[in-house]
């Protein structure tokens, strides 16, 4: 990997330069919560000043720029005697600025399923290949447990990754595109002092993690505790609202709907993100529901995150962002559930 530095002023010039011809997406605050704290989202930027580089955590993840909540997979023209199918998965190149290491790692996990599986997803692939990612380091929030999930740093999956070292950003370059973008603007070689500052900042970030989740034996424990009343205890609180999956950077369950015009001229096949916690997730034709109880659905969401994905890809699906814990109105979080499973939860 190559490293350079760029002053904050030149970084501004860089983003403004990119914005002239490209769509740039970054963290912006749009609202405040009941305690007055800003709520951030990744949104299209109209000017550099809208970019909030000191943001904490976006409410939902930038995943939705790759897996939208709803997307048309195909449209059909049913006029005359035959039918024409149109499929579009071209997108304009765009840049996402300010992605956290955990969210970059989340994309790498989604790549395993969407790009590298037996049936790659061409819609996801088009978005992934046409999106430049500029990552950004940050100090962990009180409830971040990405360090426990080994996703607090990123080594792949981005073009540039920046660490704030005071007057400048220390920039890791991970692709030709990233190198070319940086080279168009005034960047500098890394000096001895920059390197020292970088090490100091990284050390400070690492020392600030407060939340740990011990997942060492969790995959085995999931099998051993399959019938445990831990699932009932937490499942009875679950409202089956699906918010946890909607904000999660790695959940990818979906449904398909077909919409036919009343005059039978046109039809659309649409995919929408779904949640395995929703009541009808496992309902099949004929109306039978294989998972009618909330605690069973909650258990299977945890099984996918911490057991099934480990078996398939040798890693957990969860990246430890705790967005689900924040979004859950019933107070259910991975840390609380896993601690309970291990037997360390304070009740
Ligand atoms: S902490 Fe929750 S929202 Fe974040 S990756 Fe894990 S399961 Fe998804
Ligand atoms: S956000 Fe909480 S209450 Fe809603 S489905 Fe997820 S675990 Fe259940």
pTM: 0.95
Using most ligand atoms within 8 A of CB, pick from 235, 237, 244 the residue to mutate for ligand 2. Answer: 244
Say whether pLDDT at 307 is over 60.
Answer: yes
pLDDT at res. 345? 62
Say whether pLDDT at 89 is over 90.
Answer: no
Name the residue ranges covered by the structural domains of the chain. 2-64+87-207, 218-258+278-342
Whose CA is closest to atom 3 on ligand 1? 248
Q: Which ligand is nearest to the CA of 277?
A: 2
Strand-strand pairing, 160-164 and 168-173 = antiparallel
Query: Token digits for 185?
Result: 């603007």
How far apart are the CA of 333 and the centre of ligand 1, in A? 9
Give residue 230's pLDDT band: very low, low, confident or very high (50, 70, 90).
very high
Q: What is the mean pLDDT of residues 43-55?
A: 96
Say whether pLDDT at 346 is over 60.
Answer: no
Say whether pLDDT at 61 is over 90.
Answer: yes
Using most ligand atoms within 8 A of CB, pick from 320, 330, 335, 339 the residue to mutate for ligand 1. Answer: 320
Whose CA is closest to atom 1 on ligand 1? 322
Give per-residue pLDDT as tens, 255-280.
999 999 998 899 999 999 999 999 99
Q: What is the mean pLDDT of residues 236-250?
A: 97
> Which parts of the chain fold into alpha helices (H)?
8-19, 101-114, 122-129, 176-183, 192-207, 218-224, 229-235, 243-247, 294-303, 309-313, 323-327, 334-342
For residue 302, the number of C-alpha atoms closer than 13 Å in the C-beta half-sphere is 30
């Amino acid at each position: 990997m190559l490293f350079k530095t760029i002053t904050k002023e030149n970084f501004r010039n860089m983003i403004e330069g990119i914005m002239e011809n490209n769509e740039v997406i970054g963290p912006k605050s749009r609202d405040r919560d009941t305690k007055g704290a800003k709520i951030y989202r990744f949104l299209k930027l109209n000017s550099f000043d809208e970019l909030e580089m000191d943001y904490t955590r976006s409410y939902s993840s930038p995943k939705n720029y790759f897996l939208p909540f709803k997307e048309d997979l195909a449209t059909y023209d049913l006029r005359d005697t035959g039918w024409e199918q149109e499929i579009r998965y071209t997108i304009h190149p765009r840049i996402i600025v300010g992605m956290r290491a955990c969210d970059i790692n989340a994309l790498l996990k989604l790549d395993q399923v969407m790009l590298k599986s037996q049936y790659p997803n061409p819609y996801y692939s088009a978005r992934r290949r046409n999106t430049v990612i500029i990552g950004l380091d940050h100090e962990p929030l009180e409830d971040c447990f990405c360090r426990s999930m080994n996703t607090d740093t990123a080594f792949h999956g981005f073009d540039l990754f920046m660490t704030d070292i005071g007057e400048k950003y220390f920039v890791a370059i991970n692709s030709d595109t990233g190198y070319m973008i940086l080279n168009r603007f005034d960047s500098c070689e890394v000096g001895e002092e920059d390197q020292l500052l970088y090490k100091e900042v990284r050390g400070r970030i690492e020392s600030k993690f407060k939340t740990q989740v011990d997942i060492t034996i969790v995959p085995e424990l999931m099998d051993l505790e399959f019938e445990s009343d831990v699932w009932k205890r937490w499942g009875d609180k679950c409202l089956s609202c699906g918010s946890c999956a909607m904000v999660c950077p790695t959940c990818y369950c979906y449904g398909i709907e077909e919409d036919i015009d009343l005059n039978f001229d046109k039809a659309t096949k649409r995919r929408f993100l779904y949640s395995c916690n929703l009541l009808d997730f496992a309902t099949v034709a004929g109306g039978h529901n294989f998972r009618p109880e909330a605690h069973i659905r909650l258990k299977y969401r945890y099984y996918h995150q911490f057991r099934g994905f480990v078996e398939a890809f040798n890693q957990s699906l969860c990246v430890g962002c705790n967005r689900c814990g924040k979004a859950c109105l019933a107070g259910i979080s991975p840390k609380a559930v896993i601690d309970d499973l291990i037997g360390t939860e304070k009740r």
